[in-house]
Structure 1
Amino acid sequence: MRLNDWQRELEAYLLGAQPTPGVALRDSLLGSPALSAEEGLAIYHNAYRARLLDALRDDYSALHHWLGDDEFEGLASAYLQAHPSRHFSLRWLGARLADFIDGYLVAAQSAPLAELAGLEWAFTLAFDAADGEPLTLEAMATLTPAEWPELRVRLLPSVQWLPCSYNSLALWRATKAADELPARTQLEQPQVCLIWRQGLVSRYRSLGPAEAQALHGMSVAGWNFGELCAELAAYGDAAPLQAATWLKQWISEGTLERSNPSL
C-alpha cells in the first residue's frame, strides 16, 4: 500500500463511526505481544473521537448543560458524522452546529436549541475576531459641528448581532454562574443580543427594538448621524439628544469604528 493510500485509509477509519478497522489498514501494522494492531487502532480511534467531543463540550457548555451528557453526545456524534473535522485547528469544529440542529430535530425542539448554540458560537467568534479601530469619545470630541451630520460608523469586527426569540441569554448566564437552569421560555417580544469583545473581556447586552433599529441603521444600513436624527422624528425636538445618547453609549462600550474617517 502506498503511503498516501495508507494515510487516506487511516483518515477514513478515524472519521468513521466504527472502531473496527478494515482488513487492509489492520494488516498494514504490526502489533505487540501486549497490544494487537487492531486494539491499538481502536484506542487511537476512541481517543480521537473523545477529543472532538471534548472540544464541542467546551465550545457549547450551556447546550451540554441543558441537554445532559447522553443527549449532547448523541447530537454531537450525529453532527461529527455529518460534518467531520476538516480544519487543522479544532477552533472551527463547531462552526455549523446551530445550522445542523435546525435540520436534525423537529422545529419545536430545534428552534430554542439552535438559538442557544448560535449564542455560544457568537461568543467564540467575538473573542477571536480582529481588533479593528474602536472609535473613542476623545476622537468624537474633536469633530466640528459641520462634521457631525455626515458621521458614519460601522460595527467592529468582534461585534455579533443575534436575534433571540427565547431566553437563551438567561440559560447561558445560569450555566456560567453554575446556577440552576431556568425553564425554557419564548420571549414575549424578540430581542437582539449584542455580543462583542472589549480588550480581552467578552461583553453582551440585549437591545430594545428602537435602539436595535437605530444601531442597525447606522452600522449596517449606512445612515449618517443626520439621517439617524431624521429617523427618530417620533422623539420630536429630543431626537438629536436621543441619537447622541445612543451613539455615546455604543462608542463607550467599544462596538463601533468610523466608516468615513477621511471626512
Structure 2
Amino acid sequence: MRLTDWQLAFEQHLLSETVNSSFSATLLGGPTLDVDTGLAIYHNAYHARLQDVLRDDFSAVWYWLGDDEFAQLSGAYIRRYPSAHYSLRWFGERFPGFILEHLIAEQSAPLVELARLEWAFTLAFDAPQGEPLMLQDMAQLPPEDWPGLQVQLAPSVQQRLCHFNSVAIWRSSKNEADFPGSDALTEAQVCLIWRHQNVCQYRTLEPAEAWALMGMVTTGWSFSELCAELAVTYQEGAPLQAVTWLKQWVQDGLLQLRAP
C-alpha cells in the first residue's frame, strides 16, 4: 500500500463508525497494544477532540441541552460535517445551520439563535483589528467636518437579531447559574458583539438606538442626516441625542471612518 493510500485509509477509519478490517490488516501491533485497540483509541480520541471543540465554541448550547443530548447532537454533526479545514477554528461554522436541519422548527428556533449568538463571539474575537475611532479622534475633528461625517462598523462587530431570551441564557451559562428557561421576547432586540482591547464585549440596544446606528452604518447617513432623522422624535434635542449615542459607540470601539 502506498503512503497516500494508507493515509486516506486512516482518514476513512477516523471518520467511519466501525473499524475497517482490510485497513487494520495492513498494520502491525506492538507487544502491549494490538492493532484494533490502537485504532479504536485513535478513533475515539479524534471524535472526542472534535466534541471538545464544539463544547468550547457552543458552551451555552451544551449548558442548555446537558451532556447526553449535546453529545448526541454533536456526534451527528461530526458525522454530517467532518472537519475539512486545517484549523479547528472553523469546525463549528455549520453547527447553527445543522441544528436547524436536524431538529423540528419548534425545538430548533431558539437553539439556533443561541448557537448563532455564540458563533458571533468566535467571529468577533478572530476578526481583523481595523482602525476603530477613538474619542481623541472625534475631539480633533474640525467643526466643518462634523455634518458630513460618515462611519461604518469596525471589522469585529457582529450583529444578531434576537427573538428569544438568548442573551439571558448565554449570560446564565457563563455565570454557571440555573437555566432560566427559553422564552420569546415581546419585541425582538439587536445584540452587538465585538472585540475591544482583545476582550469580547456585548450589549443589547434599545430599538431607537439600534435604528439610529443602523441608519449610519447600513443606510449610510452622515451625522447631519442622523440629526435630521432624530429631529422627528427628539425635536430640538436631536443633536444632543445624536452626539450622546455617537460618543457611546466610539467609546465602545464600534465604529471606524467609512471608506471613501
The TM-score bracket by the shorter chain reads over 0.9
Deviations 1:164-212 (A, max 9, x none): 0111111111111111110111111000011111102221110111111
Which residue of 1 is the match for residue 207 of structure 2? 209
Quick one: distance in 2 between partners of 1:101 and 1:119?
A: 13
Which residue of 2 is the match for residue 8 of structure 1? 8
Quick one: distance in 2 between partners of 1:35 and 1:237?
A: 81
Quick one: distance in 2 between partners of 1:217 and 1:81?
A: 43
Deviations 1:190-243 (A, max 9, x none): 000111111022211101111111111111222111111122222212212111
Deviations 1:30-78 (A, max 9, x none): 0124322121111100011011101111111111011001100111011
1:21 shift after superposition: 2.2
Which residue of 1 is the match for residue 171 of structure 2? 173
AA at the equivalent of 2:237: A
Quick one: distance in 2 between partners of 1:106 and 1:250?
A: 38
Quick one: distance in 2 between partners of 1:229 and 1:82?
A: 50
CA RMSD across the alignment: 1.2
AA at the equivalent of 2:125: F
Unaligned runs of 5+ in 1: none
Which residue of 2 is the match for residue 30 of structure 1? 28
AA at the equivalent of 2:173: T
AA at the equivalent of 1:117: A
- Equivalent position SS for 1:112: helix
Quick one: distance in 2 between partners of 1:62 and 1:84?
A: 22
- Equivalent position SS for 1:220: helix
Which residue of 2 is the match for residue 245 of structure 1? 244
1:144 shift after superposition: 2.0
Quick one: distance in 2 between partners of 1:22 and 1:134?
A: 54
Quick one: distance in 2 between partners of 1:126 and 1:148?
A: 29
The normalised TM-score by structure 2 is 0.96
1:95 shift after superposition: 0.9
Point out 4+ residue stretches in structure 1 off by more than 4 angstroms.
none
AA at the equivalent of 1:121: W
1:24 shift after superposition: 2.5
Unaligned runs of 5+ in 2: none
Once the two structures are overlaid, the 10-residue window that deviates more, 130-139 or 29-38, is 29-38
Q: Percent identity?
A: 56
Which residue of 1 is the match for residue 218 of structure 2? 220
Once the two structures are overlaid, the 10-residue window that deviates more, 211-220 or 62-71, is 211-220
- Equivalent position SS for 1:149: coil
1:6 shift after superposition: 1.3
Which residue of 2 is the match for residue 66 of structure 1? 64
The residue correspondences of 1:115-130 to structure 2 (distance < 5 A) are 115-130=113-128
AA at the equivalent of 2:128: A
Once the two structures are overlaid, the 10-residue window that deviates more, 124-133 or 232-241, is 232-241
AA at the equivalent of 2:86: F
- Equivalent position SS for 2:144: coil
The residue correspondences of 1:103-182 to structure 2 (distance < 5 A) are 103-182=101-180
1:3 shift after superposition: 1.3
Quick one: distance in 2 between partners of 1:149 and 1:101?
A: 46
Quick one: distance in 1 between partners of 2:183 and 2:20?
A: 48
Which residue of 1 is the match for residue 43 of structure 2? 45
The normalised TM-score by structure 1 is 0.95
Quick one: distance in 1 between partners of 2:167 and 2:233?
A: 30
- Equivalent position SS for 1:93: helix
Quick one: distance in 2 between partners of 1:12 and 1:221?
A: 49
